[in-house]
A and B are shown apart, each in its own frame.
Chain A
């Protein structure tokens, strides 16, 4: 199973409601979180995800990479990504 395979099986709604079919857990992601999830599912790398965020939002901080890494940590923490995953 690939590192992001589990992410691909998540049910992800427009409103940011996330359902993990393996555990039955549910989550809420905000719009930027949803965008990152979506990017990871499409196999994008860190720079490509950052570029999409800069394109879609105003006021993106210079150290955007830190926010993305932080979000990846949350996904690892919720067992949606393997513990050794990093972008």
Chain B
């Protein structure tokens, strides 16, 4: 008779609330491939750690979003939020799906232009637009969302200088129950500032008011917040129409829909707690129904959805470098990827899946990164089966913000690949080299 296969010995204390503290036992079916590309093959070709994006998921999410809204509102536009992920290949996929660009800086504007997006397909947000940037944007015909009175005045000066009457939108901040207010951006509604801005803009007679914009915040899983936001924007649009005779071309509700990730303080996993796009759409359209304009004059609805489109499409593959026993009895696993590349680990419990068959009893485990810093923790408590040195794990839902906000700290930023149809794969960004890092450095002549 053959002997059983050896498993590392473990002893696990039964604790009330274990599930809560460590999360549920992770799905144990290993993730050996992503859309037909074998994880081992990808790592052999591009190294570890490795970000892998699924083109299929990106396209599916974009279409799902568009359809959810287009089924309920006649004209809908997606403006891809560059800051969420501005790798050229990722942006191209969204533009191919018909998305405009949503940018917040000179750098992002140049990036969009470089990808062939025409200026009048670019919405420009943010509190900081230099005179030079504003001049380029207004002269080029970009859709500028004005953030404050100084910017409104600057836009008027520039329009006068260029002898243009550019189309602009106003960014509005408003309060919605249950959502912390982002009142530092835009003109505040409830205090009357937004009405003042409209009156000021109309009286200035230099700029054409064509839209209202509002971005509530991020990872908002309560769809009612969007209903209230849309209702408030609709009422403001009605008022602008009645008082100033201005017919708005668009209402932009910003981003903020939740992805399928799980926030640290969240009890249910994101796969269960996150509303589908259709529920967001129902809430928004219910709010927009307050618009009193004739149906044929209904404004275009603009969405700047970021993380909910790209998060689920990105996976970070990491390799186990070492196992250690912590003094509190938990198992510690040292990975080759840390918070330098996965800074969203600070607020998400990223789903973790081994990439090969595992044997043995799951144990409370902490996943550490490679940095010499105490904060370098990818997951602080989860139940995982034994992992061997060299084993791979997949951290899921990593597609949003990581490949834009990652840090170059003591090591190189890893490669990012796209998996397309039939498992074909190619680089979106290669792994960095020493030259990439030291290239911009200069040596002062006296050293």
- Give the B-binding residues of A (Cβ under 8 A): 18, 25-33, 35-37, 53, 56-61, 67-68, 70-71, 73-75, 77-78
Chosen A-B contacts, 22 in total, with CB atoms closer than 8 Å, are A26-B13, A27-B13, A28-B12, A28-B361, A29-B11, A30-B9, A31-B4, A33-B11, A35-B9, A53-B6, A56-B3, A57-B6, A57-B7, A58-B3, A58-B4, A59-B5, A60-B6, A70-B8, A71-B10, A73-B325, A77-B327, A78-B329
Residues in B neighbouring A73, C-beta threshold 8 A: 325, 329
Q: Which residues of A contact B327 (CB under 8 A)?
A: 77
Contact between B11 and A18, CB atoms less than 8 A apart? yes
Q: Is B360 an interface residue (CB 8 A)?
A: yes
Known A-B contacts A70-B325, A74-B329; the reply to A27 vs B4 at CB < 8 A is no
Select which of B4, B11, B14 is within 8 A of A75 by beta carbon.
B11
Is chain B's interface secondary structure helix, strand, loop, or mixed overall? Answer: loop
Q: How far does the alpha carbon of A56 sit from the alpha carbon of B2 in the complex, in Å?
A: 10
Q: Please, which residue of chain A has its CB at the minimum distance from the CB of B328?
A: A77
Known: A73-B325, A78-B329. A29 touches B3 (CB 8 A): no
Q: Judge whether A36 and B6 touch: CB under 8 Å.
A: no
Residue on B nearest A25 in the bound complex, by CB: B13
Interchain CB contact under 8 A, A71 and B4: no
Q: Which residues of B contact A25 (CB under 8 A)?
A: 13-14
A56 pairs with B11, CB closer than 8 A: no
**Contact, CB under 8 Å: A56 / B4:** yes
Which residues of the other chain, A, contact B2 by a CB distance below 8 angstroms?
A: 58
Q: Which residues of B contact A28 (CB under 8 A)?
A: 11-12, 14, 361
**B7 touching A30, Cβ below 8 Å:** yes
- Which 3 pairs from chain A and chain B are nearest by CB? A33-B9, A57-B6, A32-B9
Measured between beta carbons, the chain A residues less than 8 angstroms from B4 are 31, 56-58
Q: Which residues of B contact A (CB under 8 A)?
A: 2-14, 325, 327-329, 360-361
In the complex, chain A residues whose CB is within 8 Å of the CB of B325: 70, 73-74
Min CB–CB distance A15 → chain B (angstroms): 12
Contacts of A75 in B (CB 8 A): 11
Kindly report which residue of chain B lies nearest to residue A56, judged by CB atoms. B3
Q: When A28-B361, A30-B360, A77-B329 are in contact, do A71 and B6 touch as well, CB less than 8 Å?
A: no
- Complex CA gap A77/B325 in Å reads 11
**Chain B residues with CB below 8 A from A58, complex form:** 2-6
Q: Which residue of B lies closest to A17 (CB)?
A: B14
Q: A25-B13, A30-B10, A32-B9 are in contact. Are A57 and B361 (CB under 8 A)?
A: no
Name the A residues within 8 Å of B8 (CB-CB).
Answer: 32, 67, 70
Contact for A67 among B5, B9, B328, B361, CB less than 8 A: B9
Shortest CB-to-CB span from A26 to chain B, Å, is 5
Determine the chain B residues whose CB is within 8 A of the CB of A67 once the complex forms.
8-9
Partner of A26, one of B3, B10, B14, B361: B14
B11 touches A74 (CB 8 A): yes
In the assembled complex, the CB of A19 is this many whole angstroms from the nearest CB of chain B, namely: 10
Question: Considering the chains assembled together, what is the distance between the CA atoms of A18 and B9 in angstroms?
Answer: 14
* Complex Cα–Cα for A29 and B10 (A): 6
B-chain residues with CB within 8 Å of residue A59 when the two chains form the complex: 5-6
Least distance between B389 CB and chain A CB atoms (Å): 11
From known contacts A57-B4, A58-B4, infer whether A68 and B13 are also in contact, taking CB-CB under 8 Å: no
Q: Find out whether the CB atom of B329 lies under 8 angstroms from the CB atom of A30.
A: no
Instruction: Let me know if B11 and A78 touch, CB within 8 A.
Output: yes
| Separation of A58 and B4 alpha carbons in the complex (Å) | 6
Known: A27-B13, A35-B9, A57-B5. 10 other contacts (CB 8 A): A27-B14, A29-B12, A31-B7, A32-B6, A58-B2, A58-B3, A73-B329, A74-B11, A75-B11, A78-B11
Q: How far is the CA of A33 from the CA of B145 in the complex (A)?
A: 64
Measured CB to CB, the nearest residue on chain A to B359 is A59
Measured between beta carbons, the chain A residues less than 8 angstroms from B6 are 32, 53, 57-61
A56 cross-chain contacts in B, Cβ below 8 A: 3-4
A37: chain B residues at CB < 8 Å are 11
Q: Kindly name the residue among B11, B12, B327 whose own CB sees the greatest number of chain A CB atoms within 10 A.
A: B11
Complex: chain B residue closest to A74, CB-CB: B11
Residues of B within 8 A of A18 (CB): 11
| Measured CA separation A86–B332 after assembly (Å) | 21
Closest CB-CB distance, B11 to chain A, in whole Å? Answer: 5
A38 → chain B closest CB, angstroms:
11
Within the complex, what minimum Cβ distance (angstroms) separates B406 from chain A? 34
* Contacts A56-B4, A58-B4 given; does A29 touch B9 at CB 8 Å: yes
Tell whether A36 pairs with B14 under 8 Å between CB atoms, given A31-B4, A58-B3. Answer: no
